[in-house]
């Protein structure tokens, strides 16, 4: 009996995924738990595992197709079914999966103007064709049953293919000018990760009311504390790296415990408050940005928190982080201090309520008891969702973070 391979749900907010690559082709044997395809969603790329042993009979969804969670993307059967495509069970399995997946795929069929032949085009390809103003009737499909894919549309456009008649704005009665690159400039397709990030950022800005508060924390005492505790760690021969990011993460975790209204998700108009702090640490990669998550950060003392942050960020940079460690964060920290940035406006990692941006520390000269004193200050930028809370409570939270940073010995209590 055939078994469908379905699009998995990798996170709370995931509604669809994109097929990045098929690791197996029809007719190849697969083992339960073996990777058969690679998908991308919510800033992460993950393998889809075979639900059972058998042979990959059919690929339902091609590369670049966007598929709803729970919808079939392929079918696995036994060797006899692979040998006989006319098997009743296989036919029924395929038909059921294709019928179930029809609303998600919505494969369009249109007649060519000059023949009675039909062309097939995936939703993603049709959308791209509309954006590039490509006449789909002039494109040759390379997918199954001559179906037109996104790659076919992009290749046609890159080769200077003809486009449809220009669109006219009915209100102004003017031609809408397409965003066309000069002929000597070759367009480069965004990577799957970059496309996912772009989609997530656009979704974040379009579904939330984001406001950013800025202020500085005096960190002379914090740096002295860091220096002292590092010395004790070295003398004790402990394998712990207490970076400034770790100390900030501890201050944020304690502040989320004290001001729990910031440790929340807004999903479909409902607010979910969390007792547990699942801390996201924005990590830059060559290909883009990911947010590995330290689960239950509120339970970890300073040394254990340092190890956890080091572990998840190192795995993320090496591409070894499992999907469950890239989802479920309740608050995120983004640090651009190493790039010399002072203040910035971080974008919410939805459905979170807040994200803290950390800049590079700066030196300021102040007058204290008629004496000139140089102090080091750390710029902080808190972006929050104004739908969930107002500026005053958000300011209270940011002030609480500053309080812990300026009283560093509280970080170990």
Domains along the chain? Answer: 3-77 (2.40.50.100), 199-411 (3.30.559.10)
Q: What tens digit of pLDDT does each residue of 320-362 get?
A: 877 778 889 999 999 999 999 999 999 999 999 999 999 999 9
| Coil vs helix vs strand at 215 | strand
Helix, strand, coil percentages, rounded to 5, for the chain:
35, 30, 35
pLDDT tens, residue by residue, 97-123: 445 444 444 444 444 444 444 566 766
Active centre residues (catalytic): 386, 390
How far apart CA 219 and CA 361 sit, in angstroms, is: 8
List C-alpha distances in Å: 262 to 292, 329, 332: 19, 12, 11
CA–CA dist 195, 198 (Å, integer) = 5
Q: What are the residue ranges in the chain where pLDDT is below 70?
A: 11-13, 42-44, 79-120, 122-123, 143-145, 160-185
SS3 category, 282: coil
Q: Which residue has the tokens 């640490």?
A: 281
**Three-state secondary structure call for residue 324:** helix
Which helix (H) or strand (E) element contains residue 29? strand 29-30
Is the pTM higher than 0.75? The answer reads: no
| DSSP letter (8 states) at residue 298 | G
CA 248 – CA 332 distance, rounded (Å): 12
């Amino acid at each position: 009996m055939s078994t469908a391979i379905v699009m998995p749900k990798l996170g709370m907010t995931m509604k669809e995924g994109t097929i990045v690559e098929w690791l197996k082709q029809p007719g190849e044997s697969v083992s339960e738990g073996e990777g058969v395809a690679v998908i991308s969603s919510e800033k992460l790329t993950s393998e889809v595992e075979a639900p059972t042993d058998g042979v990959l009979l059919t690929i339902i969804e091609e590369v670049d197709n966007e598929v709803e969670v729970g919808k079939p993307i392929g079918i696995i059967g036994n060797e006899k079914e692979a040998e006989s495509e006319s098997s009743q069970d296989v036919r029924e399995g395929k038909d059921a999966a294709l019928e179930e997946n029809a609303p998600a795929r919505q494969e369009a069929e249109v007649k060519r103007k000059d023949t009675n032949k039909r062309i097939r085009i995936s939703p993603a390809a049709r959308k791209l064709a509309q954006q590039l103003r490509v006449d789909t009737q002039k494109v040759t499909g390379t997918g199954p049953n001559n179906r037109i894919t996104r790659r076919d549309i992009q290749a046609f456009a890159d080769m200077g293919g003809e486009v449809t008649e220009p669109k006219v704005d009915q209100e102004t009665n003017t031609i809408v000018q397409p965003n066309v690159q000069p002929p000597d400039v070759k367009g480069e397709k965004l990577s799957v990760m970059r496309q996912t990030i772009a989609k997530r950022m656009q979704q974040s800005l379009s579904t939330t009311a984001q406001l950013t508060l800025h202020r500085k924390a005096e960190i002379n005492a914090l740096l002295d504390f860091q220096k002292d505790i590092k010395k004790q760690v070295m003398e004790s021969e402990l394998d712990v790296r207490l970076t400034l990011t770790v100390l900030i993460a501890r201050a944020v975790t304690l502040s989320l415990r004290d001001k729990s209204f910031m440790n929340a998700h807004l999903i479909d108009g409902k607010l979910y408050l969390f007792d547990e702090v699942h801390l996201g640490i924005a990590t830059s990669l060559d290909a883009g940005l990911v947010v590995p998550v330290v689960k239950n950060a509120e339970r970890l003392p300073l040394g254990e928190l340092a190890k956890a942050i080091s572990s998840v960020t190192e795995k993320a940079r090496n591409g070894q982080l499992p999907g469950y460690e890239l989802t479920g964060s309740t608050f995120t920290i983004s640090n651009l201090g190493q790039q010399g940035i002072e203040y910035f406006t971080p974008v919410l990692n939805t459905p979170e309520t807040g994200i803290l941006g950390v800049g590079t520390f700066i030196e300021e000269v102040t007058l204290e008891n008629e004496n000139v004193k140089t102090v080091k200050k750390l710029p902080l930028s808190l972006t929050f969702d104004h739908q969930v809370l107002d500026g005053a409570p958000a300011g209270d939270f940011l002030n609480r973070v500053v309080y812990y940073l300026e009283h560093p010995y509280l970080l170990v209590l």
